[in-house]
Amino acid sequence: MVKLITAKDAATMIKPGSRIAIGGFLAAGAPETIIDALVEQKVGDLHIIVIASDWEDRGIGKLVVNHLVKSAQVSHLGTNRTIQAQMNAGEIAIELVPQGTLMERVRAFGAGLGGVLTPTGLGTVVEEGKQIIHSDGKDYILEPAIASDFAIIRAHKADKMGNLTFSKTSRNSNPIMAMAGRITIAEVDEIVEIGELDPEMVVCPGVFVNYLVMTKEA
What would the pLDDT profile of 48-57 be if each residue is shown by its tens digit?
Answer: 999 999 999 9
Do 58 and 27 form a contact (C-beta atoms < 8 A)?
yes
Boundaries of every domain in the chain:
3-214
Please give the pLDDT value at position 1. Answer: 81
**DSSP code for 208:** G
What would the pLDDT profile of 5-34 be if each residue is shown by its tens digit?
Answer: 999 999 999 999 999 999 999 999 999 999
pLDDT < 70: residue spans in the chain: 217-218
Instruction: Give dist(CA 49, CA 71) in Å, integer.
Output: 9
Q: If one looks up domain 3-214 in CATH, what number appears?
A: 3.40.1080.10
Neighbour order of strands in the sheet with 164-165: 164-165, 157-159, 190-192
The residue length of the chain stands at 218
